[in-house]
Amino acid sequence: MRYVCQLVTAIGTMFWVSGALPVSAAPRLPIEAFAARPLVQHVSLSPDGQKAAMLVNNEGSTMIVVQDLVHPTGKRTSLMSTDNREYSFRWFRWVNNDRLLVGTIFPSKRTQNSDSTAGGIKTYETRLLSAKADGSEVINLFKPTSFKGYWQPRLQDRVIDFEPDSGKHVLVALRDRQESLQGADTGVYPAIFSVDVETGSRSHVHDSRDKFDSWMVDRNHRVRLGVRYDQANVEIHVCDPDGKNWRKRWSYKVLGKDSVEAVGFGKDPNELFFLAEHEGHDALFTVDLRDPELKRTLKLASKNHDLSGSLVYSRKTGEAIGLRGGSEIDDANSNYWDKDRRELVNLVDQALPGRYNQVFSTSDDENRYLVYSSNGQTSGQIYLGDDRANTMALFALSYPQLSAKDMVVKQSVEIKARDGLALPAFLSLPHGGEGKNLPTVLLVHGGPQHHDDAGFDTWAQFLANRGYAVLQVNFRGSTGFGRGLMAAGLKRWGLEMQDDLTDAAQWVIARGTADPKRLCIAGASFGGYAALMGVAKTPDLYRCAVSFAGVSDLLELGRDRREFGGAEGVYDIQVGSLDQDGERLRATSPRFLAQQIKVPVLLIHGNEDRSVPFEQGEFMDAALTAAGKPHRFIKQDRGDHHLSLYEHSMQFFTELESFLAQNLEPLAAPPVVVK
């Protein structure tokens, strides 16, 4: 029987944990405290629990660091580092106690038939590196070749199985025309290779198949499931444990009500876990693949939100024990059906009450574990637990300069749209105000198949720290709160989706929180589009608009998706068809509505953006210039869709602060306090 964990305040050897100096009740914190990447990210225990690997960010550089958890001095080793200009770390994972695999990503271009970077389509490329935990023997597992005409695979880090029984090989899904057994035509789709993590040598395991772009193995490391994509049509195919009898088991349209997402196999090789709709929300089911009727057994469900995430397995038994979600709308505790794991998370919740606590990495013997803990006011804290010692110690802080006492409460509210649809939302009020007649920012999330939740948000906290009320709304089209809310936004960009934001703005004014003369709309990606559309569609509602990497021309974005590998099928469902909905797409493109805008606009866009092309920012800049509208357009050289470079993030927050101060007159605040 476990007892309540003894909570240790800190491990002294961890150089990134530090206390904050005493400050006033509502200090104005330095921009870099919000603009910097989390100091420590993606911590992972080695299989034996004696080391921890993590990403450590220091202004513009990012390092992969390995920390010795056994030696009293806590020796640290830097495996590799990047300035995030040529490439960034995408992920890393232990493959055995002495070696890690690292996925990297960088922007590039592709012509149709080669890997030439002259002209062509803008893409992202990934590479797969291997390194020993002491920083030696760093190798590229798929080394470039000088062979003329060789087709270099674009995505090289799609590891689908780590083969823990051997500890030396991984299975990688790789598009390789040279080695595909079915020839060049199917070589554009990934086959499966077993790769030696020490040498990069590989052997063919499974053929590619036409339009199959995703594969899954069972717990015995056998390829058992493939997903076929044809425009917006999706098929899930499975085979028997012996690799024979491939057959189609599900087919559906992307974003459709009957969509199915396989998340993993059970210890029984015929048991498959998957997410599908149940009473309006995504829930977790199991099915016996031998059953011709595919009768579903409900495993986990919530009445209030969609389940999402990855399947969690016991490192000791190999059994599936729960679902690890990726959002704070999930209740991490209720997502486990294993008794021991539920007992552990209950004890963690007792030690860290009032927070979202998630056990996310364990040693093979499950004695040591890591916990991510946060809430709306508390940025991510990582704790190292020891089950036998019955202790849990603070290991690292994501944002050590952002003390919870300086952050504001994130209130959960519900807003009714004009047609009665309930919109989950969050309201953050600045310190020092009375909650009435405040300068306010309507902060719109991207996606739009995404959502805001109760978790810590650096953008919202920055705005509140600068004296603004912040309203974040899950408008129709958002995910996480039921398939009905998401589906209601399909093909409704600039229409009911925008009306939801208008209704939210009017709600925050009507309750007396927002000063109607000091209201701004801001966002990134789709949120940037919504900001531009808001000041075009309702020009008298907002005082200004901020768009980072925002869409301005839905027609051109659709053409871009059509050019890039036939992605227009999904675009047709999500946004609209160029052929059938062209008039509507033009009528809801801010580029063509610039003449209606009456207020200042801030546009910021990176020229290496691979999600929303940089040209979208140029289109809006040209339209506002032609219409004689006040605006500022900032091109971020080498900038991407995520403000990955430290100087770009600093520039964005600095420009945002200045722009809002000029247009909204924020609450007075104490001077900047440097911690």
Q: What is the pLDDT of residues 564-596, one digit of tens each?
A: 655 678 999 999 999 999 999 999 999 999 999
pLDDT of residue 331: 65
Which has the higher per-residue pLDDT, 175 or 383? 383
Q: How confident is the model at residue 563 (pLDDT cuts 50, 70, 90)?
A: confident
pLDDT of residue 152: 79
Question: Of 251, 175, 172, 171, which is closest to residue 209 (Cα–Cα)?
Answer: 175
Q: Which domains are assigned to the chain?
A: 408-553+589-664 (3.40.50.1820)
Q: How confident is the model at residue 147 (pLDDT cuts 50, 70, 90)?
A: very low
Tokens found for residue 624: 């506002």
Tokens found for residue 493: 């960009």
Is 70 exceeded by the pLDDT of residue 23?
Answer: no
CB 404 within 8 A of CB 480: no
Average pLDDT over residues 356-371: 95
Which has the higher per-residue pLDDT, 603 or 144? 603
Q: What is the mean pLDDT of the chain?
A: 90
- Give the largest CA-CA distance in the chain: 72
Q: For a pLDDT cut of 90, what percent of the chain falls above it?
A: 82
CB 5 within 8 A of CB 385: yes
pLDDT of residue 21: 31
pLDDT of residue 341: 93
In angstroms, the CA 276 to CA 285 distance is 7
Residue identified by tokens 């047709």 is: 572
Count of Cβ atoms closer than 10 Å to residue 591 Cβ: 22
pLDDT of residue 301: 94
Side chain identity at residue 196, one-letter code? D
Q: For a pLDDT cut of 70, what percent of the chain falls above it?
A: 89
pLDDT of residue 109: 83
Average pLDDT over residues 527-553: 98
Lowest average pLDDT, out of 50-54, 175-179, 295-299, 351-355, goes to: 175-179
Cα 474 to Cα 241, 316, 611: the distances in Å are 43, 40, 21
Chain center to CA of 554: 23
Task: Render pLDDT for 280-291 as a digit per residue (tens, 0 to 9).
Answer: 999 999 999 999
pLDDT of residue 434: 78
Cα 12 to Cα 18, 279, 605: the distances in Å are 10, 49, 42
pLDDT of residue 7: 57
Instruction: Assign 583 to helix, strand or coil.
Output: helix
Surface-to-core class of residue 199, CB atoms within 10 Å of its CB (0-12 exposed, 13-18 middle, 19+ buried): exposed
Own/partner pairs, 14-20, CB within 8 angstroms, 24+ separation: 14/67, 14/74, 14/394, 14/395, 14/396, 15/76, 16/40, 16/56, 16/396, 16/397, 16/400, 17/394, 17/395, 17/396, 17/397, 17/400, 18/400, 20/400, 20/401, 20/403, 20/675
3-state secondary structure string across 52-95 = EEEEEEECCEEEEEEEECCCCCCCEEEEEEECCCCCEEEEEEEE
Give the helix, strand, coil percentages of the chain, each rounded to 5: 20, 35, 45
Q: Residue 592 carries which DSSP code?
A: G
| H helix or E strand, kind and range, residue 568 | helix 568-574
